[in-house]
């Protein structure tokens, strides 16, 4: 009997993998394809979860059979496809969104940058108080000083009116902050502030993949932007770009709750300045000076002709280190999963917006008990529409979650609500770390090294978010039955209060 070829065996394995995935993972499909039974009060409603089908499982198995393992052809393809779709110069894969933030901040410390712009020990980076800790931790880990300003509780984002008071001439070098729950922060105001003071901007885009931000054309052009992100239509009046494409660097997370997943994983996006790719790549890859990809040698054509540091001329360039770096690469198998996810991103974005709107519509009658998030630049929500401010700017979030705040005069607290939702098996989360300045790690830091951070003003908005806010999921796997159950439980909870 003739033995089947390796190619034939692989094809058969992948065929069987698709069959297995269809049988085993039906509950993980997007909501419009998900026919798994839902039993209210018994079936959990997660705030976020992996959404995938046979494509991702087959991609993972195919990559495992190829057994490249370390970042390789799938990673190179993902980086190229992701950068092209987002509209940035380069994307570098890393092993998590937190690592992406670390690499992004470390990149700005490179001695290869102009001295006046290099982030040095004790230089300052402006950030916001309420959010996820690993947006801030890399600033401290790289020897710089985070300067905290407050959040607007209505949008969850930075209070841009505090930017100037946080600035210290000669010390402030950068701004780093996240688009909260997918809601773009006021990029127009932040960018104008950064341009005025020659500061770097790092966008933590981990919760906002697929969100867009628009500026009036003349205002955008004054900031150096002349066209929309790829795939976004033009209205002739605005320039519209994806979040993560306005700053100098941006970061992504591909952890399962996020807009697309590799299991673990993240990315650093180099928006416009190609040299930053070389520095970021070095910090990701052990700090080496060589830019050859894994498994490739001498792409510069002079591997044994360099003389750097105090090394002898001709020392192997693959073992010359210009930075104190890390090893933060993911596996090629993860990139294969990410490529399959990337093809689903437009549908995922539509679903997240649809689910947010369904929750907002369904809770309109509870405005006496809850305050609701608004997109940046929106003044109010009414009958499914937003009324916008006079700036001409617009934010269109791909929502990571649906945040609500318990009113101060409500007959219950956010903790009461959290316990009720938990008892009914409805997943929810606080706004991550709340006011980070009140977290044990930061309290300890302020006690031991008060000069390690600076607080610019009162953090009343961050405290409000910490005390009164929580969010429900908007992820693409939520079904109409799950959303209806969430609305029913919230109404039941309010009716049960004295």
Contact present, 432 and 132 (Cβ < 8 Å): yes
Q: Is 258 a catalytic residue?
A: yes
CA 99 to chain centre: 12
Structure tokens at 423: 């008892």
Structure tokens at 57: 């499982």
Q: How far apart are CA 159 and CA 152, in angstroms?
A: 5
Q: How far apart are CA 343 and CA 352, in angstroms?
A: 16
Q: How far apart are CA 436 and CA 166, in angstroms?
A: 17
Structure tokens at 262: 């590799």
Residues 6+ apart with CB under 8 A from 2: none
Secondary structure in 3-state letters for 178-195: ECHHHCCCCHHHHHHHHH
**Residue from 179, 258, 259, 317 carrying the catalytic annotation:** 258
Q: Is the dihedral of CA 210, 211, 216, 218 positive or negative?
A: negative
Q: How far apart are CA 245 and CA 237, in angstroms?
A: 19
Q: How far apart are CA 194 and CA 249, in angstroms?
A: 13
Contact present, 198 and 233 (Cβ < 8 Å): no
Residues 6+ apart with CB under 8 A from 383: none
Structure tokens at 15: 């065929």
Structure tokens at 458: 């009162």
Give the long-range contacts of residues 417-420, CB within 8 A, separation 24 or more: 417/470, 417/493, 418/470, 420/489, 420/493
- For residue 378, the cross-strand partners are 388
Residues involved in catalysis: 258
């Amino acid at each position: 009997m003739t033995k089947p070829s390796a190619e034939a065996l692989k094809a058969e394995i992948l065929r069987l993998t698709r069959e297995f995935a269809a049988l085993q993972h039906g509950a993980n499909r997007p909501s419009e394809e998900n026919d798994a039974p839902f039993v209210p009060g018994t079936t959990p409603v997660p705030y976020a979860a992996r959404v995938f089908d046979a494509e991702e499982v087959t991609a993972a198995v195919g990559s495992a059979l190829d057994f490249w393992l370390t970042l390789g052809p799938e990673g190179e393809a993902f980086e190229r496809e992701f950068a092209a779709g987002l509209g940035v110069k380069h994307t570098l894969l890393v092993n998590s969104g937190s690592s992406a933030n670390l690499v992004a901040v470390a990149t700005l410390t490179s001695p290869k940058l102009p001295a006046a712009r290099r982030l040095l020990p004790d230089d300052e980076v402006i950030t916001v108080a309420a959010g996820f800790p690993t947006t801030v931790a890399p600033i401290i880990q790289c020897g710089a000083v985070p300067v905290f300003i407050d959040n607007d509780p209505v949008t969850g984002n930075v209070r841009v009116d505090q930017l100037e008071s946080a600035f210290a001439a000669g010390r402030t070098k950068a701004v780093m902050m996240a688009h909260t729950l997918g809601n773009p922060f006021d990029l127009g105001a932040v960018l104008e502030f950064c341009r005025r003071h020659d500061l770097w901007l790092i966008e933590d885009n981990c919760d906002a993949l697929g969100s867009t931000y628009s500026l009036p054309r003349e205002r955008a052009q004054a900031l150096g932007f002349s066209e929309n992100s790829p795939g976004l239509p033009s209205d002739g009046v605005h320039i519209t770009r994806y979040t993560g494409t306005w700053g100098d660097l941006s970061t992504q997370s591909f952890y399962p709750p996020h807009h697309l997943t590799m299991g673990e994983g993240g990315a650093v996006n180099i928006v416009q300045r190609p040299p930053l790719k070389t520095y970021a790549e070095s910090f990701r890859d052990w700090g080496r000076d060589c830019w050859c990809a894994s498994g490739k040698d001498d792409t510069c054509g002079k591997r044994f002709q360099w003389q750097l540091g105090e090394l002898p001329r001709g020392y192997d360039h693959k073992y010359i280190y210009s930075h104190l770096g890390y090893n933060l690469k993911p596996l090629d198998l993860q990139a294969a999963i990410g490529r399959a996810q990337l093809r689903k991103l437009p549908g995922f974005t539509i679903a997240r917006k649809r689910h947010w709107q369904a929750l907002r519509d369904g809770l309109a009658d509870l405005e006496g008990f809850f305050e609701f998030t608004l997109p940046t630049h929106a003044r109010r929500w009414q009958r499914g529409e937003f009324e916008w401010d006079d700036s001409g700017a617009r934010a269109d979030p791909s929502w990571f979650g649906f945040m609500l705040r318990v009113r101060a005069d409500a007959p219950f607290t956010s903790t009461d609500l959290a316990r009720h939702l938990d008892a009914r098996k409805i997943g929810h989360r606080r706004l991550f770390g709340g006011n980070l300045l009140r977290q044990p790690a930061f309290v300890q830091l302020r006690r031991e090294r008060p000069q390690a951070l600076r607080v610019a003003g009162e953090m009343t908005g961050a405290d409000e978010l910490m005390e009164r806010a929580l969010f429900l999921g908007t992820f693409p796997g939520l079904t109409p039955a799950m959303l209806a159950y969430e609305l029913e439980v919230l109404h039941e909870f309010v009716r049960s209060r004295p």
